[in-house]
Amino acid sequence: MSPHPSDAPTVASRGVLTTANGNPVDNNQTSMTAGTLGPVVLQDFHLIDKLAHFDRERIPERVVHAKGAGAHGYFEVTKDISHLTCAKFLSKVGKRTPVFTRFSTVGGELGSADTARDPRGFSVKFYTEEGNWDMVGNNTPIFFIRDPIKFPDFIHTQKRHPQTHLPDATMMWDFWSLVPESLHQVTILMSDRGIPDGFRHMHGYSSHTLKLVKADGSFHYVKWHFRTEQGIKNIMPDEAARLAGVDPNYATRDLFSAIERGEHPAWRVYVQVFTQEEALKYRFNPFDVTKVVSQKDFPLHEVGRMVLNRNPENYFAEVEQSAFCPSHMVPGIAPSPDRMLQGRLFSYADTHRHRLGTNYHQIPINRPIHGVNNHQRDGSMAINGNGGSAPNYEPNSYGGPAQNNLAGQTYAANFNVQGEVARHTYELTDDDFVQVGALYNLFSNEQKNRLATTIASGLSQTPVFIQKRQLGHFYRADKDYGRRVEAALKAAGSKI
């Protein structure tokens, strides 16, 4: 569906074209010159202003999740969970909160194809009466690594080779084979689930464990699930490759067009809930984002429903400038000790300061609906009045905002921590392969064959020593998994 009107506007209905400082423009088709054949003159401010702004139109793209699409909508509470949290937007059934959601691929640049084999970002900004909560997740319940110190290295392997400037299978598989905790996510990525059919036909997950906190500071751990009402659909590799050539913006187009047609995509929202004691006793570390918390052990509890019903008016203003930060939490929601989450609490806000500026939170799409009241001042593009004449320090004797002591309880959700400050290493154990094997055995015979073929298509391009190292991980997860991949590698011409 085209965003263009069917009829051109009349001249009388069009506004007057102006310069950036509001002066009317007399001629937007011809530069000012010294005579008919003479050079352009410097005093043509409209020309200079127009070119100078054009030269600066592009801002740094996101270092990850650069290619994406977004939409506005609402979240409505459908089940009472007020016994678990004091978050006001979750306080009663029927309560609606406006949201903005951005979907994305992870590794590709702004111009990359929507049908890449890649995880999908699934981020939701809830505009609550207590400020914004950003649920910054993915379309998979797990991730490749569990320590943020590995994240820059991992992302480098998903980007381009520093010499050839080409995607490089050896970089990818070398890293994955040396970081076996990645096998769970690699298995999902290389399976039929690796290329979702657009953004409407996939689930979303917080991936990390978070906390829901009550007013007294007591809390439960939770994992958030957004389950699509459109049904899960995926794209096979040949069709994905075709679409990458003929319609690289396939998912972006699909989302926009569906909303324009009135087919508003929706997701049912659930949480898995468990206590501190259950977390400590659980077989798998619930703060290790390379592992799932089984729904058999901790079933899903419905919370609400998210509906996307309005397209952005301007992509750059609303989608490109949207800034999602896991550290943006409201009273009643708090972080867990998940190491990757702890790293993201810093990194996301930091990258937005680089990409959008110190005052990125003042950009309309990122503003809380009830305003901001603090002592932060100045910085590039401070456009919200900058606090006026109010004191810019605290404590002070002259008024202004004061802390909310209750919020301290509901943010921190205090819990005991003991131990020596050191670089404590996660030791690789069989637990890192158990869930991979269980996932593999959920696949049909045909799905297992396609998984092995997809893996071999990339892994066969790497040196044999990397193939052998990675093959050992497949065998450790499940012997049949290893055998099928080994056979697929040989069929692809590997000398393994």
Q: What is the pLDDT of residue 77?
A: 99
Around Cβ 485, how many Cβ atoms within 10 Å?
26
What's residue 401's pLDDT?
A: 84
The neighbour count for residue 280, using CB atoms within 10 Å, is 9
Q: What is the H or E stretch that residue 134 is in? A: strand 131-138
Domain boundaries, the chain: 18-57, 68-159+195-366, 433-491
* 294-330: pLDDT as tens digits: 999 999 999 999 999 999 999 999 999 999 999 999 9
Binding site listing for heme: 348
The angle subtended at Cα 113 by Cα 111 and Cα 114, nearest 5°, is 115
Give pLDDT tens digits for 88-137.
999 999 999 999 999 999 999 999 999 999 999 999 999 999 999 999 99
Q: Which residues of the chain have pLDDT under 50?
A: none
Close Cβ partners of 362 (under 8 Å, ≥ 6 residues apart): 381, 382, 383, 384
Q: Residue 124: its pLDDT value, please?
A: 99
Give the C-alpha separation, 286 to 435, whole Å.
13
CATH code for the structural domain at 18-57: 4.10.91.20
Q: Identify the helix (H) or strand (E) that includes residue 420.
A: none
Name the 3-class secondary structure at 235.
coil
Q: Give pLDDT, residue 347.
A: 96
In sequence order, which residues have a C-beta less than 8 Å from that of residue 359 and are 6 or more positions away?
Answer: 379, 380, 381, 382, 383, 384
Q: Examine the residue annotation and report whether 374 is marked as an active-site residue of this protein.
A: no
Detail the residues annotated as belonging to a binding site: 348
Enumerate residues 6+ apart whose C-beta is below 8 A from 365: 100, 317, 318, 321, 322
Q: How many helices (H) and strands (E) does the chain have?
A: 14, 10
Structural fold of domain 68-159+195-366: Catalase HpII,  Chain A, domain 1 (2.40.180)
From first CA to last CA, the distance across the chain in angstroms is: 51
Of 72, 132, 138, 225, which one is the catalytic site residue?
Answer: 138
Alpha carbon distance 377, 379 (integer Å):
7
Listed residue (265, 187, 200) closest to 233, CA to CA: 200
Residue 308 backbone phi and psi in degrees, to 5: -105, 115
Q: By three-state DSSP, how is residue 335 classified?
A: strand
Residue type, 398: Y
User: Six-digit token pair at 365?
Assistant: 């799409």
22: helix, coil or strand? coil
Neighbours of 82 (CB within 10 A): 15
- Work out the number of other CB atoms within 10 angstroms of the CB of residue 72: 19
Query: Which pair of tokens denotes residue 177?
Result: 């084979």
Question: What pLDDT shows up at residue 6?
Answer: 67
Closest to 494 measured CA to CA, from 479, 465, 157, 237? 465
Q: Annotated catalytic, 373?
A: no
Tell me which H or E stretch contains 103: strand 96-105
Q: Which two tokens stand for residue 417?
A: 């921590």
Active-site pick, 65, 184, 203, 352: 65
Can you give the pLDDT at residue 410? Answer: 64
Q: State residue 430's pLDDT score.
A: 80
CA 395 to chain centre: 37
